[in-house]
């Protein structure tokens, strides 16, 4: 849920994160297409600024019929395939809308970090199809899947409740990624006081 306290754009001091998830026709960024894109923005404390944006891109039937078998099955069951056929949004208008949304919250270039789960894949597609968006963001990324792998190897005793399932729709996947990162922060990462105590430093005064 968005926080009502966000009434003005974020700056570098806020540690902004631009959470992006794309659903594609496959994983080859040179030939496959983005079908759906969602964007949510948080500050560094993972507080969501608003409800975000989500767009389904108008896609021709022959393109959808040529998807790999996993995508044909998954996007068919999720309703995305039909949504792509019915969508009024072409790629160019979605590109413009996404850029306008990100710039409205983060006007300064290269202060926000791209975030998500296995978001390097999304970045490859965005570098091909939305280069101005990638140019607006910092070159670093925050990939929640890295923490997932580290938890598995270093903190196997920390059990994360099994998610209720993923719809493999873009906005739902982003919300799941933010919730996952919140879990790792709350259950694995030390608070400032704990970290300073472990380093033999005095706790910060309240």
The domain covering 12-188 belongs, at the CATH homologous superfamily level, to Ribonuclease H-like superfamily/Ribonuclease H (3.30.420.10)
pLDDT at 179: 94
pLDDT at 204: 62
Distance CA 65, CA 147 (A): 35
139 part of the active site: yes
Distance CA 27, CA 56 (A): 18
Distance CA 87, CA 111 (A): 33
* 153-193 per-position pLDDT tens digit: 999 999 887 665 567 789 999 999 999 999 999 999 977 78
Token digits for 148?
A: 């997932």
* 110-146 per-position pLDDT tens digit: 999 999 999 999 999 999 999 999 999 999 999 999 9
The mean pLDDT of the chain is 92
The residue extents of the domains of the chain are 12-188
Q: Strands 34-42 and 113-116, how do they pair?
A: unpaired
Residue 90: pLDDT above 60? yes
Token digits for 152?
A: 């598995």
- Exactly one of 139, 152, 155, 184 is catalytic; name it: 139
Distance CA 133, CA 113 (A): 11
């Amino acid at each position: 849920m968005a926080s009502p306290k966000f009434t003005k754009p974020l700056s570098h001091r806020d540690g902004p994160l631009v959470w992006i998830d794309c659903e594609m026709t496959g994983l080859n960024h040179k030939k496959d297409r983005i079908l759906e894109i969602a964007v949510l923005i948080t500050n560094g404390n993972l507080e969501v600024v608003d409800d975000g944006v989500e767009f389904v891109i108008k896609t021709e039937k022959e393109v959808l019929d040529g998807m790999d078998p996993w995508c044909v099955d998954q996007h068919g069951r999720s309703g995305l395939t039909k949504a792509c056929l019915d969508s009024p949004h072409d790629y160019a208008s979605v590109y413009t809308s996404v850029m306008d949304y990100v710039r409205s919250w983060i006007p300064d270039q290269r202060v926000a970090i791209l975030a998500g789960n296995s978001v390097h894949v999304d970045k490859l597609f965005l570098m091909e199809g939305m280069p101005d968006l990638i140019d607006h963001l910092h070159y670093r990324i925050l990939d929640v899947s890295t923490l997932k792998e580290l938890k598995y190897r270093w903190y196997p005793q920390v059990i994360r409740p099994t998610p209720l399932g993923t719809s493999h729709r873009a906005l739902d996947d982003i919300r799941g990624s933010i919730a996952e990162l919140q879990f790792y922060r709350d259950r694995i990462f030390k608070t400032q006081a704990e970290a300073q105590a472990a380093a033999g430093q005095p706790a910060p005064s309240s």
